[in-house]
């Protein structure tokens, strides 16, 4: 169980990853998307506990949703009493910045407060529902057309030789993140026409998605494309695909990587890894 304290916890993750891509073209609490819940997750559980609001006060809403109407705002550091809780929209925790989908019902009122902005936890609860995320959708099938003939990166030669592109501009490199993300997103059912609107270097995908009207968010979803901006760790940005959202708020991503250093640990066709949901710059939603 996460114990919230009145101190800001800063967690820094240093990632020495060099996933490259290839271009084909010359404090207010922010509402986040709801995690898809099952009936058990949507159940309202009766409890009796209290928690303290953050110093700035918290929004008390008419429903367990960050977009529900605000009934009133609590006092600074006010102690609030609750008689029920359920899962709803996810909000980044005020102290830990981890995702929390719990909402607490004020005693005797039809009024709700996000767990993320009060110091205290409902008894026998976890920040996200353990059954809220489906299992990963298997491993990619690189014989599919989405990785080959129907993939613009493959058509242009920016796919690994193992997929038999008509021409190869990657040399002996085993992978390429943009080629893989394009194919995997389609394999998981995303609209090919929209996916093919993102054909630049990985750091450009967020802008290209916005220009195409594809929504982005700071909250992961299954099938979303995790995208990193250009940085010293990612000279051309990076993209991967969200396969699973874990109960602790971390995410499982799948990815490919191009490296000019053949045989290096960043030269790979495919892998999965678990990361913090805060690591990518944004998520390009399904």
Mean pLDDT by 10 residues, the chain (286 residues): 35 33 40 38 88 92 90 95 91 79 95 94 79 57 94 97 93 96 94 95 97 94 95 93 92 94 89 96 93
CA distances from 73 to 2, 31, 88, 120, 203 (A): 25, 16, 19, 18, 39
The set of residues, in sequence order, having a beta carbon less than 8 Å from that of 120 and lying 6+ positions away, is 4, 49, 50, 51, 52
Q: Say whether both 83 and 164 belong to one domain.
A: no
Q: Are 225 and 240 in contact (CB under 8 A)?
A: yes
Q: Tokens standing for 72?
A: 């009133």
Q: How many domains does the chain have?
A: 2
pLDDT recorded at residue 232: 87
Q: Which three-class secondary structure state does DSSP give residue 245?
A: strand
Q: Is residue 60 part of a domain?
A: yes
Q: Is residue 131 part of a domain?
A: no
The set of residues, in sequence order, having a beta carbon less than 8 Å from that of 142 and lying 6+ positions away, is 148, 162, 163, 183, 269, 270
Model pTM above 0.75: no
Q: Say whether both 95 and 167 belong to one domain.
A: no
Phi, psi of 187 (to 5 degrees): -60, -30
Q: Say whether both 165 and 271 belong to one domain.
A: yes
Q: Say whether both 166 and 270 belong to one domain.
A: yes
Q: Say whether both 193 and 243 belong to one domain.
A: yes
pLDDT recorded at residue 95: 82
Q: Say whether both 109 and 150 belong to one domain.
A: no
Q: Say whether both 49 and 166 belong to one domain.
A: no
Q: Say whether both 217 and 98 belong to one domain.
A: no
The domain of 193 spans 145-284
Q: Is residue 14 part of a domain?
A: no
Q: Say whether both 157 and 277 belong to one domain.
A: yes
pLDDT recorded at residue 172: 92
> Rounded to a whole number, what is the distance in angstroms from the first to the last CA of the chain?
31
DSSP state of 235: B
Q: Say whether both 106 and 173 belong to one domain.
A: no
Q: Say whether both 227 and 185 belong to one domain.
A: yes
pLDDT recorded at residue 143: 93
Q: Say whether both 46 and 99 belong to one domain.
A: yes
Last residue of a domain, one of 67, 102, 119: 119
pLDDT recorded at residue 4: 47
């Amino acid at each position: 169980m996460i114990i919230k304290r009145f101190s800001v916890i800063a967690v820094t993750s240093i990632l020495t990853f060099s996933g490259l891509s290839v271009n084909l073209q010359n404090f207010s609490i922010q509402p986040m998307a709801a995690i898809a819940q099952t009936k058990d997750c949507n159940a309202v559980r009766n409890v009796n506990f209290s928690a303290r609001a953050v110093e700035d006060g918290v929004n008390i809403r008419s429903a367990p949703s960050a977009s529900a109407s605000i009934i009133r705002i609590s006092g600074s550091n006010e102690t609030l009493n609750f008689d029920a809780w359920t899962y709803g929209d996810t909000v980044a925790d005020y102290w830990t910045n981890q995702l929390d989908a719990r909402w607490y019902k004020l005693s005797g009122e039809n009024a709700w407060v996000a767990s993320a902005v009060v110091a205290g936890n409902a008894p026998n609860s976890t920040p996200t529902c353990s059954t809220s995320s489906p299992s990963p959708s298997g491993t990619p099938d690189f014989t599919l057309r989405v990785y080959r003939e129907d993939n613009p990166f493959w058509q242009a030669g920016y796919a690994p030789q193992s997929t038999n592109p008509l021409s190869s501009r990657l040399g002996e490199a085993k992978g390429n993140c943009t080629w893989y993300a394009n194919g995997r997103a389609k394999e998981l059912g995303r609209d090919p026409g929209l996916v093919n609107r993102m054909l630049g270097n990985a750091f450009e995908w967020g802008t290209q998605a916005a220009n195409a009207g594809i929504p982005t968010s700071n909250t992961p979803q299954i099938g979303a494309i995790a995208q990193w901006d250009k940085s010293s760790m990612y000279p051309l940005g990076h993209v991967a695909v969200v396969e699973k959202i874990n109960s602790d708020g971390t995410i499982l991503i799948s990815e490919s990587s191009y490296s000019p250093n053949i045989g290096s640990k960043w030269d790979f066709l495919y892998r999965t890894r678990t990361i913090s949901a805060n690591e990518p710059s944004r998520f390009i939603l399904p």
